[in-house]
Chain A
Amino acid sequence: MPDQPSPKHAQENQQGADTTRDAAAPAVEETAAVVAVDTAGGAMQPSAVPATAQSGQLPGGSETVLRRIFTGSGMVSVLAVLLALIIGGLLIAITDKQVATTSGYFFARPTDMLTAVWNAATRSYIALFQGSVFNPRGNGVAAQFAPFMETLTIATPLITAGLGVALAFRAGLFNIGAQGQIIVAGILAAWVGFALHLPFGLHLLLVLVAGIVGGALWAGLVGLLKARTGAHEVILTIMFNYIALYFLRYLLNTPAFQRPGESNPISPILDPSAVYPQILGSQYRLHLGFLLAIAATVLVWWLLNRSTVGFEFRAVGANPKAAQTAGINVSRSTILVMAIAGGLAGMSGVAQVAGTEKVLTDGVAATYGFDAITVALLGRSTPWGTFAAGLLFGAFRAGAVQMQIQTGTPIDIVLVVQSLIVLFIAAPPLVRAVFGLNPRRRKPARAAKSGQAATTGGAA
């Protein structure tokens, strides 16, 4: 049996415990969450807190590859990000003019090119950082921190939709439908926002409820179809995404949704009483939705780790047969978890129409629904991991613009980095090999093989 981490070891690695198997120890879990909150509030990459060196894989139990990828070690997440950034840096260098020029005389003066490579990569990443966290050239403290506020704003829908994907995954469902759920939530929330005229407070509350209910129904329908007919949720959610998108495009051309006097497919602006207040004043776009995203993270954490409902979800996700034998209603869990996941994605829809956009267009979901899958993946399907991953991706998006303006590095490089992250997370042995962290068992085996071959060869 694999050796258990010593208590000291375990303490250092509470973050790891949180991101890998928060099913394990409720007590450890609680402190781990606290650590996660601290780091999430303070730093850009909370998962950079030393994660466990243990691979976190549990022997026994029939784990699918997909499941391993989604719930693997937090360490791999961190290393995947690091590796993606390094390769991204090289790509930036390759497209850099200075690098191209200096490579012409590489053999004469190699240092010129190496310097150019280093400069190109660091300049871009510094710009990325300044565009997403802290800009020292800003005019006053408020302006200096403006990039970070922008990061939080962009992270808001990523976090809530990511939580939806993560939660469904913990119950064994691969929810590709966050995109459609955001759209349906956006439609309902926006309509309540511009068509109804209600007092302050009540109006916003109703917008929020409409969005959450919209997302929950849209996803719950998938759960119902799966539970009743056995249809696969991946296919269902993908198709539901299309249905939602084209339904939205249709609606935006109907009098009920199209802004009067406008020929473009765009809705009226939401009432001031229906939009999220900007929580840090009007100079930042950051709105109430971010606080709700934090609340949602806490709620999902509680749901998964402290409630009977979450216990059912996790049991069904980890071993549906054992769950069924223990009297858990698997169909009910499937429907319920999809509904809650849809509700969370619905919060992203509300954050879009009532927070940042304040109107409904067919781009209401942007690519948040799909990025949410990546975010959940990077966050290892744990609530705080997803929160942290959402912040990271928010930072990428916020910083990319600044990077392009300052250094001319195309925004697309950020997409490449994001894709590389997914690629590396999907191939943990590759990441471990690059960093020389593969389980030791392989090496002695190989050594023994060659060693034995040598001895027998000599004897023969």
Chain B
Amino acid sequence: MKLELRGITKRFGTLLANDHIDVVVEPGQIHCLLGENGAGKSTLMNVLYGLYEPTEGEIRVDDKPVSFRGPGDAMAAGIGMVHQHFMLVPVFTVAENVALGAEPTKAAGFLNLDQTRQRIKEISDQYGFDVDPDALVEDLPVGVQQRVEIIKALVRNAKVLILDEPTAVLTPQETDELLDIMRQLKSRGTSIVFISHKLREVKEVSDTITVIRRGKVVGTADPAASTTELASMMVGRAVSLNLDKAPAQPKETTFEVSDLTVVAPNGQHVVDHLSFHIKRGEILAIAGVQGNGQTELTEAILGLQDRVTGSIVLDGKELVGRSVKEVLDAGVGFVPEDRTVDGLVGTFSVAENLILDLYDKPPFAKGISMSPAKIMENAKARIGEFDVRAPSAASAAGTLSGGNQQKLVMARELSRPLRLFIASQPTRGVDVGSIEFLHRRIVAERDQGTPVMIISTELDEVMELADRIAVLYKGRLVGTVPSGTSRDILGLMMAGIPPEEHAHTPQAGTPAPTSNAEGADHA
């Protein structure tokens, strides 16, 4: 099936999200839409899937214009979509989820799940999906849940499959498996629209790349083009993708976590007897798939978790049991993983957000009286230093783009003398141009002799920034490895397999000595 978008324009008020976009998806092709966050990729796909009405333009399927009033119409026309956040009911089985929305029925309206089971088995065998139709979705790993979404589309006879940022939630191994599935689907005639901003994957799997910037198609690229080329097309200026940081010059250890355990409200040990240390002037990256205790670890350090045992020592001072304020006052700079929830007050001005944890310190306050002039002065300085693009220091932080919000949080946390810097997902949802800048600032902080802890689920980021890498799996430390460790080994470690198990891997280098044998049974 040939899918064509002609002159699609989508306007939200004065905001032009899509500006006369033309895209042709040929049958049996993997067509990649490459663009930064907020470039308008998802809007375009939502138009295609019938979730938005285009302001102008038309959609053609096999050269016939169509109009979709909702996802139902799009599905009927053979378009299937796998959203970034899965649309599955966790307490339903795979078969029930697949049937949902188009339930096959027997006489008198009884559900005919056997038919669905049969279809799932067929598709599963055909593509080697290995999905049990009777498993509960909530028990399945994320990668398998994604396959359920794909099956859902295939059961409905999708000829064009839209995958919206499908690799964001996957481990490197799962990503590779997904790329394989995509190739298989292609070989059987299914067209795929692949939305991503991760250059490596895009290059690996695409037949055609359309680059979108600020709602416009800026051109098409060949998958053989270099990453730097693609990145600069995406961002609109030359970007350097290599950080080229100087080797770390670690000094004494000033931050040490030993035997740290955090118990969640449900009694689960979300951080389980964790021990590690960071030296002054080095970056320790904590890698791992999302939800393996990273959030709780940072919250425990900051004093936001209640049930914490073990010890966290910074500069000889015990941090466990202290209030957040005391921890911050001890010189901890903290960039939370979700800036809009924990890092910013959206309705506050940029200037106010820049002093969110400094509001009661001089020079911003004398006693309980705050000094608006000093706050403004500070805002102007930080906005300039970190290149925060805001209409003014008085504009609400919630109106800034993700990248600028992140710069704002980073500017605040790096604007005072630090004894420890913790950044969780420092570049999540941030465009390539800003990533470069933020990474340089983190390295600069390291070079000033601050111990730096980076928590990231993006392997590229971990490998780029880290001097040492610690991998978390189910709240435990799988191992700590040096920065040069290969992507494959890190990928396996993220699945819970400690480095010794695959020490023979050629480019393995020297796996680090500190490692728990835990997780071997997950192999």
Q: Which residues of chain A are within 8 angstroms of B418 by Cβ–Cβ distance?
A: none
> Given that A21-B347, A26-B375, A319-B344 are contacting pairs, would A448 and B54 also be in contact in the complex, using a CB cutoff of 8 Å?
yes
A449 to B54, CA, bound (A): 8
A445 to B325, CA, bound (A): 48
A1 partner, pick from B15, B302, B359, B365, beta carbons under 8 A: B15
B345 touches A323 (CB 8 A): yes
Least Cβ–Cβ distance between A230 and chain B, in angstroms: 13
Least Cβ–Cβ distance between B9 and chain A, in angstroms: 9
A307 at interface (Cβ–Cβ under 8 A)?
yes
Stretch at the interface among A124-132, A309-317, A355-363, A401-409: A309-317
B386 at interface (Cβ–Cβ under 8 A)?
no
Residue of A with least CB distance to B340:
A60
A4 to B349, CA, bound (A): 13
Least Cβ–Cβ distance between A18 and chain B, in angstroms: 13
Interface residues of B in 374-420 (CB under 8 A from A): 375-376, 391-392, 394-401
Least Cβ–Cβ distance between A53 and chain B, in angstroms: 14
A308 touches B394 (CB 8 A): no
A216 to B100, CA, bound (A): 55
A329 to B394, CA, bound (A): 25
B398 partner, pick from A26, A28, A60, A448, beta carbons under 8 A: A60
B101 at interface (Cβ–Cβ under 8 A)?
no
Q: Which residues of chain A are within 8 angstroms of B345 by Cβ–Cβ distance?
A: 61, 314-315, 318-319, 322-323
A25 touches B65 (CB 8 A): no
Least Cβ–Cβ distance between B342 and chain A, in angstroms: 4
A26 touches B376 (CB 8 A): yes
A460 to B346, CA, bound (A): 47
Q: Which residues of chain A are within 8 angstroms of B15 by Cβ–Cβ distance?
A: 1-2
B343 partner, pick from A28, A312, A325, A460, beta carbons under 8 A: A325
Q: Which residues of chain B are within 8 angstroms of A314 by Cβ–Cβ distance?
A: 345, 348
A321 partner, pick from B341, B349, B365, B400, beta carbons under 8 A: B341
B14 at interface (Cβ–Cβ under 8 A)?
yes
Residue of A with least CB distance to B334:
A325
B352 touches A453 (CB 8 A): no
> Given that A2-B14, A23-B347, A61-B340 are contacting pairs, would A306 and B370 also be in contact in the complex, using a CB cutoff of 8 Å?
yes
B302 partner, pick from A61, A309, A318, A325, beta carbons under 8 A: A325
User: Residues 52-72 of chain B: 1 if any A CB is under 8 Å from the residue's CB, otherwise 0?
Assistant: 011110100000011100000
> Given that A1-B401, A307-B368 are contacting pairs, would A24 and B302 also be in contact in the complex, using a CB cutoff of 8 Å?
no
Interface residues of B in 359-378 (CB under 8 A from A): 359-360, 365, 368-370, 372, 375-376
A307 to B365, CA, bound (A): 8
Q: Which residues of chain B are within 8 angstroms of A59 by Cβ–Cβ distance?
A: 346, 398-399
A228 at interface (Cβ–Cβ under 8 A)?
no
> Given that A58-B346, A315-B345, A325-B324 are contacting pairs, would A308 and B14 also be in contact in the complex, using a CB cutoff of 8 Å?
no
A325 partner, pick from B12, B67, B323, B342, beta carbons under 8 A: B342
Residues of chain A at interface, number, CB under 8 A: 49
A456 to B61, CA, bound (A): 13
B396 partner, pick from A21, A62, A312, A448, beta carbons under 8 A: A21
Least Cβ–Cβ distance between B380 and chain A, in angstroms: 13
B134 at interface (Cβ–Cβ under 8 A)?
no
A312 to B324, CA, bound (A): 14
Q: Which residues of chain B are within 8 angstroms of A439 by Cβ–Cβ distance?
A: 13
Interface residues of A in 297-336 (CB under 8 A from B): 306-309, 311-312, 314-315, 318-319, 321-329
B140 at interface (Cβ–Cβ under 8 A)?
no
A56 to B132, CA, bound (A): 51
A111 at interface (Cβ–Cβ under 8 A)?
no
User: Residues 254-290 of chain A: 1 if any B CB is under 8 Å from the residue's CB, otherwise 0?
Assistant: 0000000000000000000000000000000000000
B131 at interface (Cβ–Cβ under 8 A)?
no
A444 at interface (Cβ–Cβ under 8 A)?
yes
A137 at interface (Cβ–Cβ under 8 A)?
no
A58 touches B398 (CB 8 A): yes
Q: Which residues of chain A are within 8 angstroms of B360 by Cβ–Cβ distance?
A: 308, 311
A321 touches B369 (CB 8 A): no
A23 partner, pick from B53, B67, B348, B369, beta carbons under 8 A: B348
Q: Which residues of chain B are within 8 angstroms of A27 by Cβ–Cβ distance?
A: 372, 376, 394
B357 at interface (Cβ–Cβ under 8 A)?
yes
B475 at interface (Cβ–Cβ under 8 A)?
no
Q: Which residues of chain B are within 8 angstroms of A1 by Cβ–Cβ distance?
A: 15, 399-401
A459 at interface (Cβ–Cβ under 8 A)?
yes
A441 touches B12 (CB 8 A): yes
B370 partner, pick from A62, A308, A460, beta carbons under 8 A: A308
A21 to B304, CA, bound (A): 30
Residue of B with least CB distance to A71:
B347
User: Residues 315-343 of chain B: 1 if any A CB is under 8 Å from the residue's CB, otherwise 0?
Assistant: 00000000111011100001010001111
Q: Which residues of chain A are within 8 angstroms of B269 by Cβ–Cβ distance?
A: none
B11 at interface (Cβ–Cβ under 8 A)?
yes
A452 at interface (Cβ–Cβ under 8 A)?
yes
A3 at interface (Cβ–Cβ under 8 A)?
yes
A89 to B342, CA, bound (A): 49
Task: Give me 17 A-to-B residue pairs in the complex whose CB atoms sit less than 8 angstroms apart, sorted by A's number.
Answer: A27-B372, A58-B346, A60-B346, A60-B396, A60-B399, A61-B340, A61-B346, A325-B334, A326-B328, A327-B325, A441-B11, A444-B55, A448-B55, A452-B54, A453-B67, A455-B58, A456-B66
Q: A315-B356, A325-B334 given. 11 additional CB < 8 A pairs?
A: A4-B395, A21-B347, A24-B395, A60-B340, A322-B341, A323-B345, A328-B325, A448-B53, A449-B53, A456-B58, A459-B65
